[in-house]
Chains A and B, each alone.
Chain A
Amino acid sequence: MSNQKNRKLSQRQFFFLIIQTQIGVGILSLPYDLHIAAKQDGWLSLIIGAFIIQFVLIVLWLLGKKYPEWDLFQMIEFLTGKWLGKVLSLSYAVYFTFVGALVLVLFGRMISGWILPNTPIWVITFLMTSVSLYLVCSGIKVVARFFTMLSALLLFLLFLLVFSLNELKLMYLFPVATSSWKELAAGVNSGMLAFLGFILILVIAPKVKGAAVDTLKTIFIAHWFVAIFYLIIVLISFTFFSTEELPLVSSPILYMLKSFEFTVVSRVDLFFLSVWIVSVTTTFTIYIYMSGVGLMRVFHSQNKKVFLIVTAAAAFFISFWPIGSQKTIDAFTSHIMTASYGMAIFLPFILYGLSLFRKKNAAGSER
Chain B
Amino acid sequence: MSFFKFFSKHHSNDSSEDQKEIKQLAAGSTAKNEPQHPTSIKLSENIKYLLKNLNHSSDVKVRVLKDGQSALIYLESLVDQEKIQRTIFAPIEDNDTNSILGLPSGKKTTNLEETIPALLSGQVVYLENGTTTAIQFNATAHYSRSPDEPTNEKVLRGSHEGFVENLTVNVNLLRKRIEHRDLTFKYFKIGKKMNTNVAIAYMDGLADPKIIKMLEKRIKAITSEAIMSPGYIEEFIEDNPGSPFPQMLNTERPDKAVGNVMDGRILLLAEGSPTVLILPATFFMFYQSPDDYNMRWYTGTFVRLIRLASFLIAIGLPAFYIAIVSFHFEVLPDDLVMPVKSSINEIAYPPILEALVMVVIIELIREAGIRLPSPVGQTIGIVGGLVIGDAVVRAGLISNVMVIVIALTAIASFVVPSNEMSTTLRLLTFPIILAAGTLGFVGIVFALLFIFIHLTRLESFGVPYFAPIAPLQLKDLKDTFVRLPLFMMKTRPKDARPLQKGAMGESREWKKSEQSKKS
Binds A, one of B103-111, B381-389, B422-430, B443-451: B443-451
Q: Is residue A158 within 8 Å, beta carbon to beta carbon, of the partner chain?
A: no
By a CB distance below 8 angstroms, the chain B residues around A139 are 457
Q: How far is the CB of B359 from chain A (nearest CB, A)?
A: 23
- The binding surface of chain A is classed by DSSP as helix
Assess whether B332 is in contact with A265, with CB atoms less than 8 Å apart.
Answer: yes
Assess whether B472 is in contact with A266, with CB atoms less than 8 Å apart.
Answer: no
Give how many B residues have a beta carbon under 8 Å from the other chain's beta carbons: 26
Assess whether B472 is in contact with A277, with CB atoms less than 8 Å apart.
Answer: no
Q: Is residue A281 within 8 Å, beta carbon to beta carbon, of the partner chain?
A: yes
Which range holds the interface residue count of chain A?
20 to 34
Cα A264 to Cα B331 with chains together (Å): 9
Assess whether B453 is in contact with A277, with CB atoms less than 8 Å apart.
Answer: no
Assess whether A149 is in contact with B449, with CB atoms less than 8 Å apart.
Answer: no
By a CB distance below 8 angstroms, the chain A residues around B330 are 266-267, 270
Assess whether A119 is in contact with B328, with CB atoms less than 8 Å apart.
Answer: no
Binds B, one of A32-40, A66-74, A130-138, A327-335: A130-138
Assess whether B470 is in contact with A119, with CB atoms less than 8 Å apart.
Answer: no
Q: Is residue A127 within 8 Å, beta carbon to beta carbon, of the partner chain?
A: yes
Assess whether B333 is in contact with A263, with CB atoms less than 8 Å apart.
Answer: yes
Q: Is residue A261 within 8 Å, beta carbon to beta carbon, of the partner chain?
A: yes
- The binding surface of chain B is classed by DSSP as helix
Cα A146 to Cα B471 with chains together (Å): 8
Q: Is residue A337 within 8 Å, beta carbon to beta carbon, of the partner chain?
A: no
Q: Taking A145-B471, A148-B471 as contacts, is the C-beta distance between A270 and B453 under 8 angstroms?
A: no
Q: Is residue A259 within 8 Å, beta carbon to beta carbon, of the partner chain?
A: no
By a CB distance below 8 angstroms, the chain A residues around B441 are 115, 270-271, 273-274
Assess whether A115 is in contact with B453, with CB atoms less than 8 Å apart.
Answer: no
Cα A12 to Cα B464 with chains together (Å): 17
Cα A127 to Cα B441 with chains together (Å): 13
Q: Taking A12-B472, A145-B456, A148-B470 as contacts, is the C-beta distance between A270 and B328 under 8 angstroms?
A: yes
Q: Is residue A345 within 8 Å, beta carbon to beta carbon, of the partner chain?
A: no
Contact with A along B445-470 (1 / 0, CB 8 A): 11001101100110000001010011
Contact of B333 among A116, A127, A142, A265 (CB under 8 A): A265
Assess whether B470 is in contact with A274, with CB atoms less than 8 Å apart.
Answer: no
Assess whether B456 is in contact with A277, with CB atoms less than 8 Å apart.
Answer: no
Q: Taking A115-B327, A148-B471, A149-B470 as contacts, is the C-beta distance between A264 and B449 under 8 angstroms?
A: no
Q: Taking A138-B457, A148-B470, A148-B471 as contacts, is the C-beta distance between A131 and B449 under 8 angstroms?
A: yes
Cα A138 to Cα B333 with chains together (Å): 41
Contact of B331 among A111, A142, A270 (CB under 8 A): A270
Assess whether A146 is in contact with B450, with CB atoms less than 8 Å apart.
Answer: no
Assess whether B450 is in contact with A131, with CB atoms less than 8 Å apart.
Answer: yes
By a CB distance below 8 angstroms, the chain B residues around A94 are none
Assess whether B442 is in contact with A116, with CB atoms less than 8 Å apart.
Answer: yes
Q: How far is the CB of A147 from chain B (nearest CB, A)?
A: 9
Q: Is residue B222 within 8 Å, beta carbon to beta carbon, of the partner chain?
A: no
Q: Is residue A193 within 8 Å, beta carbon to beta carbon, of the partner chain?
A: no
Cα A225 to Cα B444 with chains together (Å): 29
Q: Is residue A278 within 8 Å, beta carbon to beta carbon, of the partner chain?
A: yes
By a CB distance below 8 angstroms, the chain B residues around A177 are none
Assess whether B456 is in contact with A149, with CB atoms less than 8 Å apart.
Answer: yes
Cα A193 to Cα B445 with chains together (Å): 27
Contact of B445 among A12, A266, A267, A277 (CB under 8 A): A277
Nearest first, the 7 A-B pairs at minimum CB distance are: A138-B457, A145-B470, A149-B470, A142-B457, A146-B456, A145-B471, A274-B441
Name 8 extra pairs, CB < 8 A, besides A115-B441, A124-B442, A277-B442.
Answer: A12-B472, A127-B439, A134-B450, A142-B456, A142-B457, A148-B470, A148-B472, A149-B456
Identify 30 residue pairs between A and B in the complex whose beta-carbon atoms are under 8 Å apart, listed by A's number: A115-B327, A115-B441, A115-B442, A116-B327, A123-B439, A127-B446, A128-B446, A131-B446, A131-B449, A134-B450, A134-B453, A138-B453, A138-B457, A139-B457, A142-B453, A145-B456, A145-B470, A148-B470, A148-B471, A262-B333, A263-B333, A265-B332, A266-B330, A266-B332, A266-B333, A267-B328, A270-B441, A271-B441, A277-B446, A278-B449
